[in-house]
Amino acid sequence: MAPNATSTVAGTHVTEHSITVDASAETLYGLVADVSAWPQIFGPTIHVEVLEDVPGDGAGEQLLRIWATANDQVKSWTSRRTLDRAARTVVFRQVVSAAPVASMGGEWRIEPVEDGGSRVVLLHDYRAVGDDPEALALIERAVDRNSHAELTALKNAAEQGAERDELHFTFSDSVDIAGSAEDVFGFLDRADLWPERLPHVARLDLTEAPAEDGSTVQRMDMDTSGPDGSTHNTTSVRVCFPDRAVIVYKQLRVPVAMSGHTGRWEIETHGDGVRATSWHTVTLDPEGVLNALGPDTTLAEARAKVRHALGTNSSTTLRHAKQFTEAPHARP
């Protein structure tokens, strides 16, 4: 990866990071343009919502709401992007920034190189609130750390090529509940009570902070028991939307067989009650699969084992949410 360059013009700081990737410019542009895959690809990205999308030709303006980690804190902001598939550029600008950032913008540029690969350039320009030097240093560290992490992750994802389709999969489990979405959401939201409510949760530490948009950001450190009796520790960030009865999450520390794991709890009206669904999206780590499951394990076998382990725990959670909600004393 090329070292970053930094300059300052009239209080605005500009940085440039770049990396060379053994993949086509079109493949790389597709990964940058498709924000739905960002939480699986980019370590800092927790969740992305598209508020306004580009036309069907994939070019034009897009409005996003992004949740991501910066210096070990979860920040959220609204950004507007301009996508140009022909030029393979994506220009972005934060519409509403999170303190201590006063303004932030930049550009992704993807350029073919002579050997058949591509060069990815990531530009940022930013100002700190009040041009505060300490805040500026904090932003600079976050931009530098996240830029290096994102470019490395983009390179890894792009160079997987066709194998990425084998490593990446999504599945869900659902249960119908004779109760209200509010009560079911309350059970899933109160993860601090899971050790006494769920048999597979041995320990859980939770901290949370409300956001201005009505959502709540939660950090979880959890020990769970797998179907084979083993215990796994995971750390996650969850964003809870009570108005929509939706919880999205990303595991920051995942079991060794995975390189990424994101999920979503959805509660929707169904018949006279609700249907609660647990979604999982997983990206396997090929080396981790061999280390954790044995040198002869195929990717198909690994997918089946991971699906069973995650599905068993989420189905257990859904079953207990149903029992709790349908009981006469049900409360969040």
Residue 47: its pLDDT value, please? 96
Q: What share of the chain is helix, strand, coil (3-state, %, to 5)?
A: 30, 45, 25
pLDDT exceeds cutoff 70 at 2: no
Give the pLDDT band (50/70/90) at residue 33: very high
* The CATH fold of domain 165-326: Alpha-D-Glucose-1,6-Bisphosphate; Chain A, domain 4 (3.30.530)
pLDDT exceeds cutoff 60 at 305: yes
* The CATH fold of domain 2-159: Alpha-D-Glucose-1,6-Bisphosphate; Chain A, domain 4 (3.30.530)
Dump pLDDT digits (tens) for 45-88.
999 999 999 877 677 999 999 999 887 889 889 999 999 999 99
Q: The pTM is what?
A: 0.89
On whether the CB atoms of residues 209 and 216 are closer than 8 A, the answer is yes
Mean pLDDT on 122-135: 93
pLDDT exceeds cutoff 60 at 269: yes
Letter for the amino acid at 330?
Answer: A
Residue 41: its pLDDT value, please? 92
Q: Domain residues of the chain, as ranges? A: 2-159, 165-326
* DSSP class per residue in 137-176: HHHHHHHHHHHHHHHHHHHHHHHTTTHHHHHEEEEEEEEE
Of 125-139, 160-174, 249-263, minimum mean pLDDT range: 160-174
Distance of alpha carbon 168 from alpha carbon 177, whole angstroms: 30
